[in-house]
Structure 1
Amino acid sequence: MVAPPDNDVLFARTLRHSHRGSPALLGVSVGVREGEILAVVGPRGSGKTTLLRCLSGQLVPDQGEVWFNGAPVHTQPAAARDHLRRERFGWVGSEPQLLPELTAWENAALPLLMRGVRSRAARAQAQEWLDRLDIGAAARKHPARLLQSERQRVAVARALVATPAVVFADDPAAPLHRADRAQVLRTLTSAARSHGMTVVLAGTDPDTARYADRTLALRDGRTESATAVQDRETPDPAPANA
């Protein structure tokens, strides 16, 4: 194995992966710098989710390498990869996957509680993120009493609450209406920038690229293009408390 570039916090080389014999990734390579927001765009079935799952250690690629902070991820045992995801990574998908028996703040605080942070401190941090996402008033409600857009905001708060090194966001605004989608993506990316978090943001909507520093386009499991987003539309200013 050849170590990745020093300036990449996350690096993947020639990833190949298949699901039940159907190829999902066909030799994808990508590097992500610390504090960078990378948009991974492409139609459904292009390999976006598989790429994020390989980069985050959820999947071990059939071929290729994944590195985080100069250390190989793809060779680590499952327990070590679980620890990495719990301690250094955040994840939010297109479905919130909240625990129904927990309140909104308890769901948002879960990564902190799992690390042993005391309940009072975890609740305060969770409340801060829920407030940033305009869902703070519902902190004591259970998921069944929340709207779909509210549940998704709780899931975003959960991904950010522990200030992870890398946030993997797999089409997190997909189930939302356009206005809610814009707010969630603005808050997610502006909060990540203000806290120095790296973000890998996947989306089917090409407009996702306007929130990122750089875009990687996938189609049929292959890299279509990788270009710096220099003349993209500037995102709307984030709320003052974001």
Structure 2
Amino acid sequence: MVAPPDNDVIWARSLHHSHNGSPALGGVSVGVRDGEILAVTGPRGCGKTTLLHCLSGQLVPEQGEVWFNSVPVHTMGPRLRERLRRDRFGWIAPEPQLVPELNTWENTALPLLLRGTPRREAKKSALEWLERLDIGGCARQRPHTLLQNQRQRIAVARALAGAPTVIFADEPTATLHRDDRTHVLRTLTSAARSHGITIVLATHDAEIAALADRAIPLLDGRRVATVALPGSSDTEGRPACSLSV
């Protein structure tokens, strides 16, 4: 077992993983420096999501090593990995994964509440990030009353509110209109710079990848030198939240 470099907050070596016998990763190695925004790029199906799942401890690779701050993640049991994800990592999926029974601010504060943060303190942090993402006016609404782009901004606010060391963002703006996409990404990247958060961002979009400090391209589950990426394409427009708190 080789010790990871001291300046890498995430370090992985020779990751192999497959889904139902179909190879998804074939020997991928990567290091992510503390405070870095790293884009994992490539076309759909190239292994980006699987790589993020392995780096964040959601999947244990079939072969290879994953380290977080010089601690081996790949040898942790399920409970330790779950605690690591709760306390140190944030996750933004392509589709918002919200709890329908909770309102907007409660969904945003959930990582803090699960850690035992006092409710008032957790609510304050949640509302601050909701305001930065222009959705503070929907703080008491439940997910089913909101639009898709509003729910996705809640998911981004939730990842930031937990003050994580690393945020893993898997195509976080795939369902958003260009204006929403720009605002969300600017908030996410500026928060990373100001709070020293490391971001690992999976995207198949060249414009989004350009916001990162560095990019590693994947193709067919392996790192390559370059890969062509398309530019952004618009989706539906963004109506404003019409209901008051």
TM-score interval for Structure 1 and Structure 2 normalised by the shorter chain = over 0.9
Provide the C-alpha distance between the structure 2 equivalents of 1:46 and 1:185, rounded to a whole number of angstroms.
23
Q: Which residues in structure 2 correspond to 1:1-242 (within 5 Å)?
A: 1-225=1-225
Q: In structure 2, how many angstroms separate the alpha carbons of the residues matched to 1:6 and 1:192?
A: 20
SS in 2 for 1:2: coil
* Kept after mapping to 2: 8 A contact 1:46/1:220: yes
Q: CA deviation at 1:226?
A: 7.5
Q: Aligned AA for 2:161?
A: V
CA distance in 2, matches of 1:21, 1:118: 45
Partner secondary structure for residue 38 of structure 1: strand
C-alpha RMSD over aligned residues? 1.1
Structure 1 residue 183 displacement after superposition: 1.0
| Counterpart residue identity of residue 80, structure 1 | L
Name the SS of the counterpart of 1:4 in structure 2.
coil
Task: Tell me how far apart the structure 1 counterparts of residues 54 and 88 of structure 2 sit (CA, whole Å).
Answer: 15
Change (3 A) 1:161 1:226: farther
Normalising by structure 1, what TM-score?
A: 0.92
- Counterpart-to-counterpart distance in 2, 1:112 and 1:5: 30
Q: CA deviation at 1:225?
A: 2.6
* Cα deviation code 1:69-124 (max 9, x no counterpart): 01110011111101100111000110101111110000000000001111111111
Q: Secondary structure at the match of 1:176?
A: coil
Q: Distance in 2 between matches of 1:34 and 1:90?
A: 15
How many Å apart are 1:208 and its aligned residue?
1.5
Could you tell me how far apart the structure 2 residues matched to 1:149 and 1:125 are? 21
Paired residues, number: 227
1:231 equivalent in structure 2? none
How far apart in 1 are the matches of 2:186 and 2:225? 24
The answer as to whether partners of 1:37 and 1:200 remain within 8 angstroms in 2 is yes
Q: What's the offset of the Cα at 1:131? A: 0.4
**Contact preservation (8 Å) 1:65, 1:74:** yes
* SS of aligned partner of 1:57: coil
CA distance in 2, matches of 1:152, 1:162: 16
Cα distance in 2, alignment partners of residues 87 and 37 from structure 1: 20
TM-score using structure 2 length: 0.91
**Percent pairwise identity:** 67
Partner amino acid, structure 1, of 2:144: A
Aligned 8 A contact 1:41 1:208 in 2: no
Q: Give CA-to-partner distance per residue, 1:107-155, whole Å, 9 cap, x none.
A: 0000000011111111110000000100011101111111111000000
Structure 2: 5+ residue stretches without partners = 228-245
Please list every run of 5 or more consecutive structure 1 residues that lacks an aligned counterpart in the other structure. Answer: 228-242
Secondary structure, aligned partner of 1:225: coil
Once residues 226 and 12 of structure 1 are traced to their aligned partners in structure 2, the CA distance between those partners, rounded to angstroms, is 20
Partner Cα separation in structure 1 for residue 40 and residue 179 of structure 2: 21
- The secondary structure found in structure 1 opposite 2:14 is strand
Flag as ranges the 4+ runs of structure 1 deviating above 3 A. none
